[in-house]
Structure 1
Amino acid sequence: MGTTPEGVAGTSAVGLGRVVEPVGVLPQAAYRLDARGEIAADEVRIRVERLNLDAASFRQLSEKHAGDGAAVRAEVLGIIRERGKMHNPVTGSGGMLVGTVAEVGPESPLSVRPGDRVATLVSLTLTPLAISDELAGWDGRSEQVPCDGHAILFGRSIVAVLPDDLDPRLSLAVLDVCGAPALTARTVRSYADRAAAAPTVAVLGGAGKSGSLALAAARQAGAARTVGVVPVPAERDRLVAAGLADEVVLADARDPVALAAAVTGALGGPADVTVVCVDVPGCEHGAILATADGGTVVFFSMATSFAAAALGAEGLAADVTMLIGNGYLPGHAEYAMSLLRTVPGVRALFTDRLAAD
């Protein structure tokens, strides 16, 4: 049963009692959280076994340290120790985790029990986290971080019990980006309802985790035609082999004119829906330019500058709706896992990625 340690507010479903500084903000906006293991009545403690750093955060850290895994490991450990959570100060992003439920407070509304193996579906940027093994089992060269420690979930946290028949690393990789396919499917269906026609869809970063799921979701939701955009021939070959897109094109998403030309050439015109799943900054203007007037751009990357997107659309006189992929829709985890199970190309890309890591 849970206890209520001094200074931890057990009745706050959003975790206000865990905020150390600045007081009064929500955990995601806080600089530092209280990551003590004692739980309040409405909290859950997880014994952590693996973190999954989000792609933008891991890329930034790896590039900063020129691929020096030891330096990356040291910085990640330093961030967690200083802030009581994994919250990259440059990208503003974190990731998610897998672990085993250790203790459930008596007032927790979460449908988990001690012993359940779970993946958190909320960002590490708002999850109190403490590491006890110095990240000794991680070489700093992959997004997935084996570790030992604990994390705290609140009443309004989201968590999924891991399926028994899948490698936990595979489940973690899918659940890390499960908001992308759900929002893509909703957007494609919404466009079709509004325009009375099936939309064309472009996915930037189509060979990545969120991108491959977004392509599968767009096709399943009834897209008229899909194009996957990738930056290098190796990713093009993988995506072609997976069969998830009607067309696969090479383009640097940071080059607006080249990107728009590649998408337009593949689809016979600009895309009705463009989904941005790349993990590098500077892709906002290309995505807007590649999208038809009256269309929709879904930014599903933590590398996105939303100021650049808004001002860029204004400067291009682009009549497009721009959506922020917030990572949550009802049923998003189940939907993503169903795509993994039923679409062979998705399963192949995820399996190959794990093998490479």
Structure 2
Amino acid sequence: MTSPVGLHRVVEPAGVLPQAAWRLDASPEIAPNEVRIRVERLNLDAASFRQLWEKHGGDGDAVRAEVLEIVSARGKMQNPVTGSGGMLIGTVEEAGRRSPLGLRVGQRVATLVSLTLTPLTILDGLARWDGRSEQVPCDGYAILFARSIAAVLPADLDPQLSLAVLDVCGAPALTARVVSRYVVERERAGDPTPVRVAVIGGAGKSGSLSLAAARRAGAARTVGVVPVVAERDALTAVGLADAVALADARDPVALSTAVTTALEAPADVTVVCVDVPGCEHGAVLATADGGTVVFFSMATSFAAAALGAEGLAADVTMLVGNGYVPGHAEFALGLLRSEPGVRALFEARLAAD
């Protein structure tokens, strides 16, 4: 009996879902409701790659070796420290006759589910990857379940660009949903108070998309917070935010001061898109009572966020960005196509990698 959520692929421990499993069965033979993808490129999530990079002191060979070791041992790519993985692109190699995903052999697709729950085998030893970038060219195969999600890659965009966008497509979609609710509620109440949005890590992939999404959803004023001058200048140049603030998100007072100064008030919605730990308290402190903090970073400690809000007597709603909102892939790709600033930042990032 094959499970639509992949329980039959769990090797250990028994009884858990694939994401929580220590090891998966990544054998290539598919069940009638599965799909096998021939993998051409992985995209490691930012928190996982940063942890590996810092652990090995920037030694790309050591990073590559550890990624290979993880995938070999676990049958999936799940960083044991951060618990996170990433996603991939590839070509449909075989589709089971009962798969509900609607995928056809030969289609190039991006998986919209995490590598932490995707059975994965690497065949080429990552010979084409230098271990120095989040995007990992490779040859291998991966298995999708009946409850997995995948998007056919658009013909008008470079696959690497599509992969970079789709890796974080849940962030702008949820940001737009949250911001639009504040806008609608104030309009209905006849409240002229502008909706203010802060994006921590505004020059990154999820951050730049979230800034564009917030503006499109009706935010009256936005601020992107970045840690270094180069990112401040890059974000300022593309005009995605009404203001750009320079602050270390791990310094709660500095972050709160930067946000409230730029917005002339605390943020109604604060979106956390950084890939380093220790940013929870600053995000809460920067958010108005009755506001919402959306955590998209896999480096977030949710215990620190909850206890920090309690300790600050902060009346804020905290949301975990789970990476899925209906229509998220199309929404993010639409932002890339229609917002020159977003595209400029993404292309510059890919060129640097």
Verify same fold: TM over 0.5.
Answer: yes
- Equivalence for 1:55: 46
- Count of aligned positions: 348
Question: What do residues 295-336 of structure 1 show as CA deviations (whole Å, max 9, x unaligned)?
Answer: 000001000000000000000000000000000000000000
Is 1:70 aligned with 2:37? no
Query: Matches of residues 270-281 of structure 1 in structure 2 within 5 Å?
Result: 270-281=266-277
Gaps of 5+ in 1: 1-8
The 3 A distance-change label for structure 1 pair 195 and 319 is farther
* Distance in structure 1 (CA, Å) of the matches to 2:96 and 2:131: 34
Q: Deviations over 1:182-225 (max 9, x none)?
A: 00000001122334454100000000000000000000000010
Change (3 A) 1:331 1:198: farther
Counterparts of residues 119-130 of structure 1 (less than 5 Å): 119-130=110-121
CA distance in 2, matches of 1:111, 1:184: 28
SS in 2 for 1:333: helix
Superposed displacement of residue 111, structure 1? 1.5
Letter of the structure 2 residue corresponding to residue 305 of structure 1: S
After TM superposition, list the pairs within 5 Å mapping 1:216-295 onto structure 2: 216-295=212-291
SS at match of 1:237: helix
User: 1:321 maps to what in 2?
Assistant: 317
Structure 2: distance between partners of 1:154 and 1:198? 44
Aligned 8 A contact 1:191 1:198 in 2: no
3-state SS in 1 of match to 2:102: coil
Return 5+ residue gaps in structure 2 as ranges.
188-192
- Select 1:25's aligned residue among 10, 13, 16: 16
Matches within 5 A, 1:92-103: 92-103=83-94
Equivalent residues of 1:44, 1:154 under 8 A apart: yes
For 1:213, the equivalent position in structure 2 comes to 209
Report the alpha carbon displacement of residue 232 of structure 1 after superposing the two structures with TM. Answer: 0.2
Residue 163 of structure 2 corresponds to residue 172 of structure 1: yes
The counterpart of 1:148, out of the listed 131, 139, 146, is: 139
1:192-211 pair list within 5 angstroms: 192-196=183-187, 197-211=193-207
CA distance in 2, matches of 1:29, 1:95: 15
Aligned to 1:90: 81
Provide the rounded CA distance (Å) in 1 between the counterparts of 2:23 and 2:225: 38
Is the contact between residue 203 and residue 214 of structure 1 (CA under 8 Å) also seen in structure 2?
yes
Structure 2 partner of 1:6: none
Determine the C-alpha separation between the residues in 2 that align with 1:63 and 1:332.
31
Q: Displacement, 1:166?
A: 1.0
Quick one: distance in 2 between partners of 1:145 and 1:195?
45
User: For the Cα contact (< 8 Å) 1:198–1:222, is it kept in 2?
Assistant: no
Q: How many Å separate the matches in 2 of 1:171 and 1:104?
A: 23
How many angstroms apart in 2 are the aligned matches of 1:270 and 1:198?
12
1:337 counterpart SS class: helix
- Determine the C-alpha separation between the residues in 2 that align with 1:165 and 1:180: 22
